[in-house]
Structure 1
């Protein structure tokens, strides 16, 4: 059974700043609480280590699309199977919208339960809130 989620956050930061924070996937652990580490293999491939309730996981993913200040897409090529895309939307000169969309295959009881109870959405929402706070603090400093 495949699971999917789509979460969005609006932030008081320009899309150029939002893009800077997301464009280097090795920095995602700064605001994605379940991502412990991302190691670059080459320009398009990365190994990710995740800490999830009941399980630690890793996978290798490849960037499938990078459009500056618009979207970053990836798919897993080894390990935990999933794919995702983050899109960036300019709402004004000083506000932006970030949308994250994930498709994944839950493995084991805890992940199936998280998908059924929307815990996965709660975690994604929390992480986007963390990102929003970081982006708005940086925007206020510039």
Structure 2
């Protein structure tokens, strides 16, 4: 074999090898594309199957769907795993706290004895606009009418507002109200009992219906009962350190309300 013949043979062999490599790459690419297509089809089938069952699925089912959707959107397996874990946690908490449903109501009964005459204690209680000055969580109270009050208070680091309607109010005896709010409501009764001429018992009975996440969470460990007890202590301290020293300055509302309507007004 001369030089030219050997060169031609080498060139032909090299070309054949290159063609073989290209063919192998194309074949590998086709195989990979086919594999990806099969995986995508399988993901589509699983997504449709899980989506059809998602309404009745538990936390893990919904979490699996979230992870699957993350993979379908091209996210990495790690990101898909994060989606799975977060959805599982969120759905589990929703199941514990009732999701968007109204929370289980809580009955709260608290009382405190105030060393002051019943009339003075009652009059101070009806001065709702004074509450933010001595109650820790009450931000403001706006009395729109004799029967309607708009409240704003702190719940953890958030603010809550609600409207209260006094349905019955008898001077020196009791006040009954109903309320409504986006994050729950409280219906209740406060009554005033003369133990001695200078000692009055204040009895507070609340029916608390939580709705927000913070409210439902606090409802588990009875935070609302402790808050009511603490606010009663603040009220007692205010009466005995402020109102009792200046009783002539405490002008309460002495009207009467029946069935949500004012039937008598102070003279």
Q: Same fold (TM over 0.5)?
A: yes
- TM-score (normalised: structure 1): 0.89
Normalized per residue, which structure has more helix? 2
Contact 2:155 2:214 in 1 (8 A): no
Contact 1:90 1:97 in 2 (8 A): yes
* C-alpha deviation, 1:54, in angstroms: 4.4
Moved over 3 A (4+): 77-80
Separation in 2, partners of 1:44, 1:108:
26
- Matched with 1:98 is 202
- Matched with 1:26 is 129
RMSD value over aligned CA atoms?
Answer: 1.8
- TM-score (normalised: structure 2): 0.50
Gaps of 5+ in 2: 1-103, 248-267
Which of 55, 58, 63 aligns to 2:158? It is 55
Which of 216, 220, 225 aligns to 1:116? It is 220
Gaps of 5+ in 1: none
Separation in 1, partners of 2:208, 2:215:
10
Pairwise mapping of residues 1-142 of structure 1 onto structure 2 (< 5 A)?
1-79=104-182, 80-137=184-241, 138-139=243-244
Equivalent pairs counted in the alignment come to 142
Separation in 2, partners of 1:33, 1:72:
22
Contact 2:167 2:177 in 1 (8 A): yes
* C-alpha deviation, 1:91, in angstroms: 0.4
Contact 1:16 1:69 in 2 (8 A): yes
Q: Deviations over 1:38-72 (max 9, x none)?
A: 11212211111111114311111111111101111
SS in structure 2 at match of 1:13: coil
- Matched with 2:8 is none
Normalized per residue, which structure has more strand? 1
